[in-house]
Amino acid sequence: MTELQMLEGCKLNNVTAQEVLYNRYNSKMLGVCYRYANNRADAEDMLQEGFIRIFSQLHQYRSEGSLEGWIRRVIVHTCINILKKNKKFSEYLDIAHAENMEARQASVYSMMQTKHIIECIRMLPLGYKTVLNLYAIEGYSHKEIAAILEIEEGTSRSQYARAKIMLENILIKRGVIDQSFKKTKNTAAI
Amino acid sequence: MNLFEHNDNFEQFLREATENFRMRPSVRVWTSVYNNIHPSKKSPSAAAFLVFMISFFILNSSNSIVFLQSKSTEKQIAIHVHNKQLLTYSKKSHEIEKIAFSKKQHMYQAVIDNKIKAQINRKSNNDESLLSTFENSNTIDFSDMKSQPHLQDANLRQEFNQFVVSAKNNDKLKTQKPFYISTKNNDESELSYQLYATSSVGYSNGYRNTETEISNASANQPQNVTELNKTLRYMPEYNLEAGGAFLVNVTNSLRLKAGMQLNYTNYKLTNEEGTGDVANSEINNPTINNVALVNEIQILHPDMNTELKKYNSSTYEISIPLGTELELIGNHQLKWFAGATIQPSYIVGGYPGQNTNEMKSYLPEDGSGFRKWNVNTSFETFLSYKLPNGSRINAGPQFRYQLFSSYDSKYLYNEKQYNIGLKLGISRNF
């Protein structure tokens, strides 16, 4: 089934097409949700809400960008909305509170480098983690993040700066950064 | 020095590192999505199954005419089902009786248990002309029934006559194959036995024992001990039960049972992803009320270069299930039951206390912290299908739950196991 057929089928509420779309993107989108969530169960809840929104809003997709990019944006916004419903989320977005936060002393036990880095990101305080995910990985601007999270643009910038430093310290402590960063740079040079 | 002085490098590094990260969601996510976007055709649920089964039985019992006929030509009975009444005719007694029933699903049982048995055993003069009407099991002639001398009730007689007329004019009824019952009906026995096995998936749930005080000796107790269940992840494993029971009929639809059962329980425990240290510190309490809770739990603390470790807790138990089974609806061939038992259980072996891969345990080595006696309860529903040889095949889902914690009451944590499985069995009347 081509992407066009799949999209047309989904817009006609065809179950087969919907299942194809779901199977094509679910694992990658759960990886996205996992970076925002506290645990896997929360990530699956986010994924579920996200795909419900995707299927109900698919008619709004105009084929102007990639379908994956559009799906990813819906998923990320769903994650943020769910986090914002959590009362603690606003506390974590407060700079003073975040400055005093220590990264959780959780371990990274996966043998996979990617999993290592994902877990290091997840160790960050919620506010740091969210801004870092949105800015560094999803590519949102600080202005957009401020609008999404309903915070000041300056807050987003400072949260990001602190998140970066904290993540760097975690990566060094976990022995991830020397190998992977050099490797990344070398790969980029090639 | 900041290794990522140039933001572009940092962001590129993170994007490349996370781009190919994937996790496979559980089946329940798609099921929930599907049910949400297609509310009119939800995936089959227990409620839908219930509605289906009720509809099935009602539809199957709403035929206006049912013929019951024993394999012995001397014990044949025709039954007319109309307006929640049965009109039965026995060629042995030449009587037509009216049996009221309140629920259609009780119809067959009422006939089989209370009436047919009595009629078959009743002795009376044979009426050869009437007997002849039942000789051919595939063609039934009702012509002589009009003159039934025993049909005293005028209304009943009129109703039965209408039934006979309609039957005579209905080609389909004339050639309808009779439904056979055996005069040696095993359902008539008051006592039966069953053998069964349940294949299930076992889970466990851990939580803080609020009745246990933390002693001074464990002043270094971490603050967030209540987070155990959020920190540790209980993973399901295969469980098995096998046993036998005797059943005694109390009423037409209710029976009591008692038996013996062997259980193999099993589950795995690991720490939540990314929280290994937390899990370690939470569970590593030196003493609680002077009872060593954790001796060697370091295996839960994953090193960077080691695989995720898992605890495996398994036990072998002997249980004495005591309970009841209730027939909900059904006919002679197929019945639907619901049941419940209470099961005093004794642990006879295995590796309780979440022994590690290295045979370490956070319970005392002599096993004194583990509750040897426990009580489980189970709930089940099943379909029971009668085989030609009189035995019944039973199959249906079962839920089993442990009522008391696996650990001694002095321990800081409680744990209760439960499992969900499919029970298969065979039963037979004595």
> Which pLDDT tens digit goes with each residue over A93-109?
554 444 444 433 333 33
**CB of A161 within 8 Å of any CB in chain B?**
no
Q: What's the pTM value of the predicted model, to 2 decimals?
A: 0.40
The angle formed by the CA atoms of residues B77, B79 and B81, to the nearest 5 degrees, is 170
Nearest to A45 by CA among A118, B206, A36, A61: A36
Question: Which has more pLDDT, B181 or A156?
Answer: A156
Instruction: Give the span between the Cα atoms of A81 and A149, in whole angstroms.
Output: 9
> Does residue B223 have a pLDDT over 60?
no
Which residues does A139 contact at the CB level (< 8 Å), separation at least 6?
none
Is B359 inside any structural domain? yes
Provide the domain limits for residue B114: 64-181
**CB of B9 within 8 Å of any CB in chain A?**
yes
Q: Answer yes or no: do B202 and B174 share one domain.
A: no
The last residue of one of the domains, among B181, B211, B244, is B181
In Å, how far is B211's CA from the nearest CA of chain A? 29
Question: Which has more pLDDT, B27 or B1?
Answer: B27
Is B233 inside any structural domain? yes
User: Are B347 and B372 spatial neighbours (Cβ–Cβ below 8 Å)?
Assistant: yes
In Å, how far is A106's CA from the nearest CA of chain B? 4
The last residue of one of the domains, among B181, B214, B238, is B181
Q: Answer yes or no: do B152 and B214 share one domain.
A: no
Q: Answer yes or no: do B216 and B135 share one domain.
A: no
Confidence of residue B111 (pLDDT cuts 50, 70, 90): very low
Is B244 inside any structural domain? yes
- Asked whether the beta carbons of residue B302 and residue A44 sit closer than 8 angstroms, the reply is no
Q: Which of A48, A52, A109 to mutate to test the interface with B (most CBs of B within 10 A)?
A: A109
The last residue of one of the domains, among B181, B204, B238, is B181
Instruction: Give the span between the Cα atoms of B382 and B394, in whole angstroms.
Output: 6
User: Are B257 and B249 spatial neighbours (Cβ–Cβ below 8 Å)?
Assistant: no
Q: Answer yes or no: do B302 and B393 share one domain.
A: yes
Q: Answer yes or no: do B292 and B353 share one domain.
A: yes
Instruction: Give the span between the Cα atoms of A127 and A94, in whole angstroms.
Output: 8
Q: Answer yes or no: do B190 and B256 share one domain.
A: yes
**CB of A175 within 8 Å of any CB in chain B?**
yes
Q: Which of B10, B22, B305 to mutate to test the interface with A (most CBs of A within 10 A)?
A: B22
User: Three-state SS for B167?
Assistant: helix
Q: Answer yes or no: do B194 and B339 share one domain.
A: yes
Domain of residue B192, CATH code: 2.40.160.20
pLDDT for position B379: 95
pLDDT for position B251: 76
Nearest to A156 by CA among A169, A166, A141, A167: A141
Q: Answer yes or no: do B77 and B165 share one domain.
A: yes
* Residues on chain A touching B275 (C-beta within 8 angstroms): 104, 106-107
User: Are B384 and B392 spatial neighbours (Cβ–Cβ below 8 Å)?
Assistant: yes
Instruction: Give the span between the Cα atoms of B104 and B56, in whole angstroms.
Output: 12
Which pairing describes strands B179-181 and B65-70: parallel, antiparallel, or unpaired?
A: parallel
- Asked whether the beta carbons of residue A31 and residue B38 sit closer than 8 angstroms, the reply is no
Is B7 inside any structural domain? no
Q: Answer yes or no: do B167 and B199 share one domain.
A: no
Q: Answer yes or no: do B248 and B357 share one domain.
A: yes
Check: complex ipTM more than 0.90? no
In Å, how far is A156's CA from the nearest CA of chain B? 15
Nearest to A124 by CA among A188, A37, A22, A186: A37
In Å, how far is B194's CA from the nearest CA of chain A? 41
Is B176 inside any structural domain? yes
Q: How far is CA A77 from CA A14, A123, A142, B187, in A?
A: 25, 21, 15, 62
Tally of structural domains, chain B: 2
> Does residue A162 have a pLDDT over 50?
yes
pLDDT for position B329: 85
**CB of B34 within 8 Å of any CB in chain A?**
yes
Q: Answer yes or no: do B191 and B93 share one domain.
A: no
* Residues on chain A touching B301 (C-beta within 8 angstroms): 107
pLDDT for position B422: 93
List the domains of chain A with CATH numbers: 1-85 (1.10.1740.10), 87-190 (1.10.10.10)
Q: Answer yes or no: do B154 and B259 share one domain.
A: no
Dump pLDDT digits (tens) for B331-381. Answer: 777 889 999 999 999 988 776 554 333 333 444 445 556 788 899 999 999
Both structure tokens of A178: 């020397």
Is B50 inside any structural domain? no
